Amino acid sequence: MNQRGISLVLAMGCLGLATLAQTSENGNPISPATTQNQGQAPITPPEKAPQAAMQATSGSNARTPGANAQQSSTQEDENVATIRTTVNEVNVVFTVTDKHGRYIKDLKKNDFTFSDDAKPAAEIRDFKSQTDLPLQVGLLVDASNSVRDRFKFEQESAIEFLNQTVRPKYDAAFVVGFDVTPEVTQDFTDNTEMLSRGVRALRPGGGTAMFDALYFSCRDKLLKAPRAGAVRRAVILLSDGEDNQSHVTREEAIDMAQRADVIVYTISTNISGMKGKGDKVLVRIAGATGGRAFFPFQLRDVSNAFAEIQDELRSQYAVSYKPADFKADGRYRTIEIVAMDKKNLHVRSRRGYFAPVQ
């Protein structure tokens, strides 16, 4: 075997040992399952431990007999250049409020403790107050029969929110209506008039597949959305929380939101005056992703909920840290951020993430 052949074997041997797990665009680890099914129907749960990446890499070693040395060398260089290793860095967006619910925006890194899997973070690599990041927002509107009573008012409140939040050439949003299936009535755009038409195009009717709609919006829209730098990803979900048609479970939808680094804000459409089973589901989804659940029992409260979400999206912190005792084992790892003045300050963030699989 000549020297180039030996080099190739060594390079591919290293690749076999490299971590094949991918990372999300902001550096958060995601399972290979996240990208395995991106081109498939939104109702299909992620695969377990896909081997496509290894198979694709192995296939790239094939050589046609008689191929010239220059082509072989170029292909070898390309193979080596595509090797990626996992960066053990976690990025978290979080919000701090005082006892009265007011946002606190002037705190420093030393005002907090950061724990990963119940252990202090090994290193804080970056900390900043991020009040003006570009937004990528998905508006998910329950268009099932169960929300018919105040559907028109909620549409107008959503339009007002988009008009006030989306800045031309800076932010982008899309609109999805869902009953038994999610329907994109307006794709990503910074044009608020187009977004308004997308909201007005929604028509109530049919069953409710809320988990499918959230899963689809996180995996097929937000996770795939291009970005030049840091952005803030969020979903505003209007629904009564009742789901009777989804193919994915609540936890699978939450999992996908976490993998896509999406904060979910839920606005209940329940007008009974009492919190029901669906409202508890909305609380679970929002809490697990670092968002908030709103329960506007009166119509005017819907607009207030949108206004609070808009304010919060401009009042957040971002931290990047290196976990202690990190293992690429695919396990769920908890995140805990605590303010030093925990008696007076409340921190809200996503509760954890999935480590990559080696």
Task: Compute the average pLDDT of residues 55-81.
Answer: 43
CA dist., res. 20 & res. 90, Å (int) = 17
pTM comes to 0.72
CA atoms within 13 A on the CB side of 113: 9
All domains of the chain in start order, with CATH: 3-81 (no CATH), 90-131+316-354 (no CATH), 137-289+302-307 (3.40.50.410)
In the block, residue with structure tokens 């971002």: 318
Task: Compute the average pLDDT of residues 66-77.
Answer: 46
Please name the residue ranges forming H helices in 18-132.
Answer: 32-36, 52-59, 69-81
- Which pLDDT belongs to residue 87? 58
DSSP per position, 14-42: HHHHS----B-TTS-B--HHHHHTTTS-T
Task: Compute the average pLDDT of residues 19-37.
Answer: 39
Comparing 39 with 91, the larger pLDDT belongs to: 91
Residue 245 Ramachandran class (φ > 0 left, ψ -120 to 50 alpha, else beta): alpha
Task: Compute the average pLDDT of residues 194-223.
Answer: 93
- Which pLDDT belongs to residue 273? 76
CA dist., res. 280 & res. 236, Å (int) = 16
Residue-averaged pLDDT of the chain:
79
Phi and psi for 269 in degrees, rounded to 5?
-100, 10
Residue 134's CB is within 10 A of a number of other CB atoms, namely 16
CA dist., res. 217 & res. 239, Å (int) = 15
- Which pLDDT belongs to residue 133? 81
pLDDT surpasses 90 at 230: no
Task: Compute the average pLDDT of residues 76-92.
Answer: 59
Of 45-49, 148-152, 242-246, 330-334, which gets the smallest average pLDDT? 45-49
Name the CA dihedral angle for 114, 348, 221, 314, rounded to a multiple of 10 degrees: -100
- Which pLDDT belongs to residue 269? 86
Please write the tens of the pLDDT for every residue from 124-158.
Answer: 999 988 777 889 999 999 987 766 667 888 898 99
- Which pLDDT belongs to residue 190? 96
Band (17; pLDDT cuts 50, 70, 90) = very low
